[in-house]
Amino acid sequence: MESGDGWITRIRPHGGRLSPVQATGIASAVREHGNGLIDLTGRANLQIRGVTPASHAPLIEALRALDLIDADIGAEQRHNVIVTPFADPETDGLAAELEAALTASALPLPSKFGFAVDTGPAPVLQDIPADIRLERGADGSLILRADGFPYGALYRSAAEALALAEWFLAQGGAPEGRGRMAGLIARGTPPADAMLAPAPVLQTPAPGPVPQGMLVGLEFGQIEAGTFATLAAFGPLRVTPWRMLLIEGSAKIPALPGLIAEPGDPRLRLRACTGAPGCRHAHAATRALARRLASHVPKGRVLHVSGCAKGCGWPRAADLTLTATPEGFDLIRGGCASDIPQLRGLPPARLPEVL
Ligand code: SF4
């Protein structure tokens, strides 16, 4: 993808996990061929920014040497699988089987159509966008569930996940190649044999120690390549969809700039897109403003500062959204960056008081 600060290159780590060698190699490649920064996306992918037409090919070769490049673009797009970072060996096996089946298939699924493997000790991905979910019931059984429907069917193999995706296509879920499972279900099409309820989400993960290692938050989901390499020295990295990395098997991580180690850190309440000057569509420098406003965001609330109505930084509703416009900031309560604002054209100086 092209952006204001060069091309953006996405890495979709297999199984959502990077070995220390892979993570260190990515950090080197980012320093050499990108702008030194790595973004963690809401779908647990990595993005390298600041790539140029000249640096793109050597970057891809460096990533290929780390076993991070698929055979072709179609295979890369099809293995759109998000895996719980708290994966046990069984979950890793399920994710690998599903990725392999998707890669080998020729299913013409929409580009955003994705799968979630959420079969760790407790479900954590139910709020994360996905179309087909692999979960556990309260008794530990494996359940395959279409997003948007409360019940699923007993899961035995990846072939059943592919069959559910085929069912989605056969039911007209993607006219003209676009569409999502929840939209099809909302139109009143229930999947067959779906009678099992998944276990509910108990708690959204927060930075700090977890049984699998240490979760660290990244300010705005971004990390400097040197910090990424430092973390990789402590163990394999699991990417998450919550702008956090899980460092496997590590009980303590040094305090480094941009890392969030405390669950009460006000920066965890912030969402902000790249904004100016990195994005040429931006009407404001979003991240500097969000930092200044952090202490004004009530505990437990989320503030999204968006450089324009596209809302790339948080493409869903937030408690408070500030959308930059040529006339100032629009304030939206409980909505997305493009929703109808309650207040329009606010100057930056008024924002603390308004929040
Ligand atoms: S929301 Fe707008 S300003 Fe922000 S990164 Fe996306 S396109 Fe750019």
User: What is the percent of the chain with per-residue pLDDT over 70, rounded to a whole number?
Assistant: 100
pLDDT in tens, 149-166: 999 999 999 999 999 999
Say yes or no: CB of residue 291 within 6 Å of ligand 1: no
Amino acid at 164: L
**Predicted local distance difference test score (pLDDT) of residue 311:** 95
Containing H/E element for 96?
helix 89-104
**Predicted local distance difference test score (pLDDT) of residue 245:** 98
SS3 280: coil
Burial of 77 (0-12, 13-18, 19+ CB in 10 A): middle
Say yes or no: CB of residue 221 within 6 Å of ligand 1: no
228 and 256 share a domain?
yes
Tell me if 66 sits within 8 A of 24, measured CB to CB.
no
pLDDT in tens, 217-235: 999 999 999 999 999 999 9
213 and 242 share a domain?
yes
249 and 331 share a domain?
no
pLDDT in tens, 249-304: 998 899 999 999 999 999 999 999 999 988 889 999 999 999 999 999 999 899 99
Residue 292 Cα to ligand 1 middle (Å)? 19
Mean pLDDT rounded to a whole number for the chain: 94
Alpha-carbon dihedral 263, 265, 268, 271, rounded to 10 degrees: 180
Query: Is residue 223 in a domain?
Result: yes
100 and 246 share a domain?
no
Q: Read off the CATH number of the domain in which 235 is found.
A: 3.90.480.10
Give, for ligand 1, the residue of 312, 323, 338 to mutate: max count of ligand atoms closer than 8 Å to Cβ. 312
Give, for ligand 1, the residue of 1, 271, 279 to mutate: max count of ligand atoms closer than 8 Å to Cβ. 279
Q: What angle do CA 210, 213, 219 make, to 5 degrees?
A: 80
Query: Is residue 26 in a domain?
Result: yes
283 and 326 share a domain?
yes
C-alpha–C-alpha distance, residues 46 and 239, integer Å = 8
Say yes or no: CB of residue 279 within 6 Å of ligand 1: yes
Query: Is residue 150 in a domain?
Result: yes
Query: Is residue 133 in a domain?
Result: yes
Residue finishing a domain among 221, 237, 260: 260
66 and 214 share a domain?
yes
Q: Which residue is it, tokens 């890793």?
A: 92
Give, for ligand 1, the residue of 289, 310, 316, 323 to mutate: max count of ligand atoms closer than 8 Å to Cβ. 310
**Predicted local distance difference test score (pLDDT) of residue 72:** 87
C-alpha–C-alpha distance, residues 303 and 293, integer Å = 9
pLDDT at 194 over 90: no
Query: Is residue 124 in a domain?
Result: yes
How many domains are there within the chain? 3
pLDDT at 3 over 80: no
Atom of ligand 1 nearest to the CA of 324: 3
Any bridge partners for residue 248, and if so which?
A: 213
Residue finishing a domain among 195, 225, 260: 260
**Predicted local distance difference test score (pLDDT) of residue 221:** 94
210 and 66 share a domain?
yes
Alpha helices, DSSP H only, in 52-88? 53-65, 73-78
Residue finishing a domain among 124, 158, 186: 186
DSSP 57: H
305 and 290 share a domain?
yes
State mean pLDDT over 37-55: 94
Residue 196 Cα to ligand 1 middle (Å)? 40
167 and 100 share a domain?
yes
Query: Is residue 147 in a domain?
Result: yes
- Range(s) of the domain holding residue 140: 86-186
Helix axis angle, 20-33 to 225-232, nearest 10°:
170
User: What is the percent of the chain with per-residue pLDDT over 90, rounded to a whole number?
Assistant: 84
CA dist 123 → 61, 91, 120, 185, 224 (Å)? 36, 12, 6, 22, 30
Query: Is residue 195 in a domain?
Result: no
CA dist 289 → 150, 240, 339 (Å)? 39, 25, 21
66 and 106 share a domain?
no
108 and 156 share a domain?
yes
Label residue 145 by pLDDT band (50, 70, 90).
Answer: very high
181 and 93 share a domain?
yes
Atom of ligand 1 nearest to the CA of 279: 8
